[in-house]
Structure 1
Amino acid sequence: MKKFARVFAILCALTLTLTACSSGSNGDKKDATEATNKKIGTAKDGDEMKIEKASMKLVNAKEKGKYKLVGTEELKKWIDAKEDMVIVDTMPAKSFKANRIPGAVNAELPITMDKVTPEQKDAYIKALGDKKDKKVVVYCGFVGCERSDVGAVIAQEAGFKNVYRQPGGIIAWMDAGYDVEKDK
């Protein structure tokens, strides 16, 4: 897994380098400032460091938690194909009622493992069902939200074998323009 983190970091650096090269940058400070002012990169607000920090936090959490990741587009394909899975929204009930990925169940979890109560853990594991081989997809609000990490770790510890975290959460789902369910 350390190799994966190194490869990821190298790919990020290479992407940034190629982006700068393709924009005509010769590496001086003026070009960097112009690139920032044009908002080149991934971050809508031009602050690529926020994206990098969130990415590295995600990669490290995935390695530590020993679960898999699934992107928003891939999850949509799974849903459209009616794959046998349980999708768990770990956000508070108010958020779940307002917008959720179709077919998701709600099992609110805190942002860190040390804040999980025995009642929350039991309710969450109950929401996953009894089939340990069934695909489990956990999500929360957005990449920086760690409720889905907590859920993925608990599922792994409970013996579920096909645990996925959808890191972009409901925000990425809505950004992709996919339909949401909501309470009336």
Structure 2
Amino acid sequence: MKFVRNVFSLAAVCALMFSLVGCLGSDKFEQEVSKETGAIKLVREIQRGDYDVISTAELKALLDSKAEVLVIDTMPYEASYKKEHVPGAKQFLFPIPDMDEWDVTKTDGKTQEQFVEMLGPDKDKEIVVYCGFVKCSRSHNGAAWAKKLGYTNVKRYPGGIFAWKGAKYPVGSVK
């Protein structure tokens, strides 16, 4: 009888341990679903926009090489760009939802012609567009519009200013 009780107790403890491990580990599964959702959203935006991507380390190396590159911050001027941005970046606001048609009410009153002026006449110049972080799609709109306007060497920096700061790289600001 004592043997049966010990086996039963051991089985109960094991069952409790396995159930706790399952409970503790379930959060990891939910996190993975969230990561997958974000990754698929990013890939689909890249496919729709027909641009390339660049990582934080690649952008830092590109800037350090002194290559001629136009970096565009698509975040709001006062709330974000003015406080911190990738050094040397120019600012041009784009909205978060897809902007299929140019809408000056969503670009802080700026026109398509002003965007083209910022991009310049060289359609093969390297252009990197970013916003705040991976889930933010302002950079998608900026990169997609650069491609629509005929620029061929357009990259989106999906990590944005959060990844830049997370890598402990210096930021620029407007005084």
- Matched ranges for 1:50-89 at <5 A: 50-89=34-73
Larger Cα-atom Rg: 2
Could you tell me how far 1:29 is from its partner in structure 2?
A: 6.2
Of 164, 168, 180 in structure 1, the residue corresponding to residue 159 of structure 2 is: 168
Aligned partner (choices 84, 90, 93) of residue 99 of structure 1: 84
- Paired residue for 2:133? 142
**TM-score for the superposition, normalised by structure 2:** 0.78
Residues 33 and 91 (structure 1 numbering): CA distance in 2 closer, same or farther, change over 3 Å?
same
Query: How many residue pairs are counted as aligned between the two chains?
Result: 151
Flag structure 1 segments of 5+ consecutive residues without an equivalent.
1-27
Q: Distance in 1 between matches of 2:144 and 2:19?
A: 43
Q: Distance in 1 between matches of 2:19 and 2:121?
A: 58
Counterparts in 2 of 1:164 and 1:31: CA distance versus 1, 3 Å: same
Q: Aligned match of 2:31 in 22, 47, 65?
A: 47
What TM-score results when the alignment is normalised by the length of structure 1?
Answer: 0.75
What is the SS of the residue equivalent to 1:108? coil
Q: CA deviation at 1:114?
A: 4.2
Percentage of identical aligned residues: 38
State the AA in 2 paired with 1:101. Answer: V
Distance 1:36 1:73, change over 3 A: farther
Residue by residue over 1:20-39, the C-alpha shift from the partner in whole angstroms, topping out at 9 and shown as x without a partner, is xxxxxxxx7654433356xx
Displacement after TM superposition at 1:115 (Å): 6.9
Q: How many angstroms apart in 2 are the aligned matches of 1:76 and 1:88?
A: 14
Uncovered stretches (5+) of structure 2, i.e. residues with no partner = 1-17, 105-109
